[in-house]
Amino acid sequence: MSVFRGSGVALATPMSEDGSINYDSLEKLIEDQIAHGTDALIVCGTSGEAPTLDDDEHIKAIEFAVQVTKGRIPVIGGTGSNNTAHAVMMSQEAEKVGADGLLLVTPYYNKATQAGLIESYSVIARSTKLPCILYNVPSRTGTNILPETMVAIAKANPNVAAIKEASGNFSQIARLMNLADGAFDVYSGNDDQIVPLCSLGGAGVISVLANVAPQFTHDMVYACFEGDYAKAAAMQLKSIPLVNALFCEVNPIPVKAALNMQGFNVGRPRLPLTEMEPAHKAVLEREMKAFGCL
């Protein structure tokens, strides 16, 4: 039940001056991503400011992406929550509006045990027919999905198709992939670790970098798939200064600034996130010019 292979973009959500979602800009972003090789859209995840979207606009944004995409590439809706019942409801609504898959972040703040993760994810997965991608990002959530836990969840729930791994712990990731034995896909959740993870057999990346360099990110992943690791490694190393600039403040503050520099009119983040500090913005602009995406 593979959802996609390649580069999935963790898409930013454009905002108008009044703070509402700017659907004109969202359509332009989607069309640009498709035109430049992106293999899947991840809508209303962390980069899409899901924590500040109300339920109606959250589902409307997923539905809009489905309508614009018209089946050309998969649309994956971010529907995870630290409230299992809420995640079930949002996942079912995303399925109703035509999403091709779900991205389910670990419960944040309340910090479930490993047994709690197994039970919570199983309840969500069994509430929908859609393939589910679990999202392990301990730096944001305070909770780490251990390899044995992920395998247990996937074995008990056939529609748990993949994990987005953003722990940064390659010993853990290697153990995960060994235990998985191909039973589910593993995507890199860190843009500075795409090639290392793909070299272990990863299925690609769910990427912030792809917002501003979609063709490059796609091509880097496919260089791995084609066995040209010298080319892929060179591309990964070239990307590091830009990736560092895109994460010099909390995501998605820098990527929204970068997209505005590129003319996509995505507005500012919603509070509590603020616009990028001028000194950091200057560094980001410099690195975008050096990389060739501005």
Which tens digits make up the pLDDT trace of 187-238?
999 999 999 999 999 999 999 999 999 999 999 999 999 999 999 999 999 9
User: Looking at residue 15, what DSSP letter applies?
Assistant: B
SS3 186: strand
State how far the Cα of 2 lies from the Cα of 15, in Å rounded to an integer: 32
Exactly one of 121, 135, 187, 222 is catalytic; name it. Answer: 135
Structure tokens at 252: 């998605």
Name the residue among 115, 45, 48, 119 with its Cα closest to residue 81.
Answer: 45
Do the Cβ atoms of 226 and 233 come closer than 8 Å? no
Active site residue 129: no
Name the residue among 26, 39, 33 with its Cα closest to residue 67.
Answer: 26
Exactly one of 164, 222, 256, 281 is catalytic; name it. Answer: 164
64, containing H or E segment: helix 55-69
For the entire predicted model, the pTM comes to 0.96
State how far the Cα of 230 lies from the Cα of 224, in Å rounded to an integer: 9
Q: What are phi and psi of 82, to 5 degrees?
A: -90, 5
Structure tokens at 158: 């056939």
Active site residue 164: yes
Q: What domains appear along the chain, each with residue ranges and CATH number?
A: 6-226 (3.20.20.70)
Residues of the chain with pLDDT under 50: none
pLDDT recorded at residue 2 = 84
